[in-house]
Structure 1
Amino acid sequence: MFHEREFISIIILFMIAFCFLPSSTADTDAQILVNFKSFLSNADALNNWSNDSINVCTWTGLICINQTILHGLRLENMGLSGTINVDILMKLSNLKSFSVINNNFEGTMPSFNKIVGLRALFLTKNKFSGEIPDDAFEGLRWLKRVFLAENGFKGHIPKSLAQLPRLYDIDLHGNSFDGNIPDFLQSGFRVFNLSNNQLEGAIPEGLRNEDPSVFAGNKGLCGKPLEQPCSESHSAPREEENEKEPKKRHVLISIIAFVVVLILASILALLFIRYRRKKAAEKSIWNMENAQSQSHNTNTSTASTSEAKSIVVESKKNKDEDLNFVTNERVEFDLQDLLRASAEVLGSGSFGSTYKAMVLTGPVVVVKRFKHMNKVGKKEFYDHMRRLGRLTHPNLLPLVAFYYGKDEKLLIHDFAENGSLASHLHGRHCELDWATRLKIIKGVARGLAYLYREFPDEKLPHGHLKSSNVVLDHSFEPFLTEYGLVEVTDLNHAQQFMVGYKSPEVSQHEGPSEKSDVWCLGILILELLTGKFPANYLRHGKGANEDLAMWVESIVRDGWSGEVLDKSIGGGSRGEEGEMLKLLRIGMSCCEWSLENRLGWKEAVAKIEELKEMDHVGVGGGVQSQDSDLSL
């Protein structure tokens, strides 16, 4: 009997030999694409496709990740015709998306099921025709988006299309599909359109919540959501639909049965080993996070470890859920891609852990795990996340995708190269000069102003504004994070840990006001100027961060002292010092205990926008007036 290690080695060697035996000498992506182009006609738009070019990501119509990895072809509106040679395309190992919208391709649909990793297929507005075989989409288990609209396809909708496990966009309108609509495995599509075909019979139960317009132009359809009721003859699908079964499968199974059994045994063995390693990784992560929560007395986003880990999703009951992307413009990846990604723990705070994840099929992202978001149901959570996903501002870190689980939620954002503002202010080496700090606080103010405009009826449009929730890109441009989450966070947890609930009015009136985020902005300004961390943020409960504001006020009231400003801020000229004092005054005005005396958000932002870097301002009377502006 083989030992476990010897058995696994034999299985892996067998799989490698099986997978690569028929392969030939690998071509480069450039050679493959040039060969693919040779089968196209009227391809003047692709003139820069040449073997002489080193980086194919500079070619027309190519979609790349980080300008290095080919992800998809977007050959739209180019007047192309000829042959789409799938046998050549399948040599592109990373091809995930293919689009030839609005061209002149003719004939039957190519065998795209050979490209097993395909995730999006766009053939809309061409001249394709004929029937699509029932097995045309078999094996495309990653395919999410299928757009075949405005062609000349006929016959019944292929069953393999309806059985795609991850399909959420499908558009078949403007063809000549006939027969009954198959039972789609999925429901709740993001895009769904079968209008203007020749479909007939009862609409399947899983599609009765769709808008009636997606079935318009099919005179033979009946049942909900249409007003046309079904007769008894419509209740059952055609017998010919049920009798069609692929016969080739039986022949193939008889030929490769032995190989299939070996492969399945190999996969089961590898899955078992992966399961054991996954459980060990989960235990390791939880041990690490628990140790961090006991020893780490700040919630900055400085890196907690440099060791690569795996992200583990706790929810078992929602294991079939997938990531939900909030926009179609992003390179997509699956939950399994995320779980397989190596991850670096960036921080562990009161709401959960934050990871930097290196997804193989996509960009580097930040994953935030939240355990206290059970305030709303699934539908309300989805609606709120999509609302956040529609926010667009240069100083908001965009929400890329989210995951809903019963016990935890995941929010996926872009990665900011320079980490958090807190890590720069309170790390070992603070190198933020006055110009950079002013740039940061202006960006923060603009982002906060945008949130106030987008959420005019909410008292805490951000709710958790602090230095560890301000991240910086390669040029130190600031981005706000963890914004707009008050509506989906448990109230008790929010009152204990969200900084918006630590403003004075919360302790006085048992509730935040429309100026509570302004208070947080003021504390952030004082932290930025003094370099002192508002340590009382770490206290649980309300009204716990007044010490920094009171400390600054006590020193200023007793007369100006150089101890207030951070020594590493620079600012050799009196002009720069005067602008710093102006910002200090703005910060103090944002921290007024009295709501009547505290600045409103519009006034605070306007005053911050007036500040200047003043790198080389000469001394003179203007500076005198700036100094006197701080007097209380």
Structure 2
Amino acid sequence: MMVQHGVLWRATPILLFILLLFHNLATSHGESDSNVLLKFKASLENTAALANWTVSKPPCNGWKGVLCYRGNVWGLQLENMGLHGVIDVETLAKLPTLRSVSFKNNDFKGSLPNLTRHSALKTVFLSNNKFSGEIPDNAFYGMRSLKKLHLANNKFSGTIPTTLATVPRLVELALEDNEFEGEIPNFQQKGLIKFNVSNNRLAGRIPQGLSRLHASSFSGNKELCGEPLESCPANYEESWQRRFPETTIGVIAILVGAALITLLGVCIFLVCRKKRYQQQLGGSPELNQMERSTGIASPEGGKPSVRQLTFLKEETEKFDMQELLKSSAEILGSSVFGSTYKAGLKGKKMTVKRYKHMNQVSKEDFNEHMRRLGRINHHNVHPILAFYYKKEEKLFVADFVHNHSLAARLHGNQSLEWRTRLKIVKGVAKGLLYLHHELPSLTPAHGHLKASNVLLDSDFNPLLTDYGLIPILNKDHAEHNMVAYKSPEYKETAKLTKKTDVWCFGHLILEILTGRPSVIDQQPDADLATWLDTSGSGVSVFDQDMAATGNMMKLLKIGLSCCQANLKRRPEIKEVVEMVEEIKDKEFDDDFDSSYASERGMRSSRGLSQDFKPINL
């Protein structure tokens, strides 16, 4: 009986996996392309041109504007039809093979549709409509497949989204004849061959990566300068005069003068207050370099002492708070928990994390918990070297990791090969298992596992960070922001389990394989199947930077099994490590074709409608 249950347990994620990868074979059990397109049509207005969109024949049999390939809908060319209403991208995302949409020369209004809802799109043409308003800076985050974007001749305003400059495969960008302002982001895509921002309100120097383009790409922007246009003024005052008329300068001068007077008054007040405080302390604290560059205030306002930093590792070279605050520093980033800084200290670089939401824990309990974390010693867990306690905020000090985070690697312009990704998955699994052994009373041991909390050393070995925070974080803040509290079990029972970390790890595996931002961050209430389906059917679910291999399919099955909402079906972390360790790191797998064929055969011989239930996050 136990064997039968084991077979059933292993079969369920396989069946789920097949449904996700071969969506085109399962349309008889799900929503057909015709139903999806008719639902999309219902969101539009003035649809007389789409009169032949009916259920009497399939979309690939003559529906106007529908482009197909081998029986699958891959494009919509709905141009010059007088359409308006809403472009429902979320409904279009249910067409897994859709890669191109064109709504040029229509009458659409309002803000830009949320294209990230169908991040597998390759070409998007929305020129010659009446779209308006500012485009959010993250509007193109995660759209790694996007090659052509045309938004010309609309009324878009604000700055050009910087995420456009991070789209790796972009080859065409048409933003002319809008109302964009500010500077042009630093586009560096080598494949960008068609680029047009003419007739906007852009200003500043043209980025070096775009200087190779023709001057007509930038015409009609009076405040732009640099190649291929005229050189920028060498004198700052000349540039200032060129950008602002005299009346504007006068107004700004008045405002700046008033601000300086106000600032002077505040400074006098603070200096007087500081002198009185120094007289009470009998000391004279220095304004240090870290305070100026990062804003980390000297603790308690007085002169720091060695005892203010508590060191957790005996072998760590000791330094005091004053040395730390005097060190050269730069901010690395901010999160919902606080800020992170890089500090240069005694010939080495350190990371200083500043937390602001730990004031509901007593000093004794906090110190005891930090000593438990200080005993952590594993090559896949980033150790905390020292900490500082203050009721309002806490500082964690650790070694600086030069290769940055997994999130930066996955979603930046640098690719990761399959072997490296598998190596990272195995290392994370081992680090997670170690935390569960060393922190047995902590449920879950990590609680905030995601790509930005996995650092990569120079050899791409993963290091887990931000682990063990649940007992010391304020409960209300943790519930709103930590990954563990987004799990199905917490939503249903308001309780966390040791398998909650397994659920987080499953989503991390999917993010590593697909190269797409996690559904937990992007669409916390989305259905996992829908999120994966937007990547397409077949092997296209995987990141295109990796060569296809059957071993990738094996890892995807493991990730899906970890994501199951049913706790009884979800494996233990020890089982996950064993399954992951069995996967080989071969770049190409001879079994890939046979694996692909056998999965298709299993899918066709057994119905999935009764076995598959969407995983609601």
TM-score under structure 1 length normalisation: 0.47
Larger radius of gyration: 1
TM-score under structure 2 length normalisation: 0.49
| Higher RCO (CA < 8 A, seq sep 6+) | 2
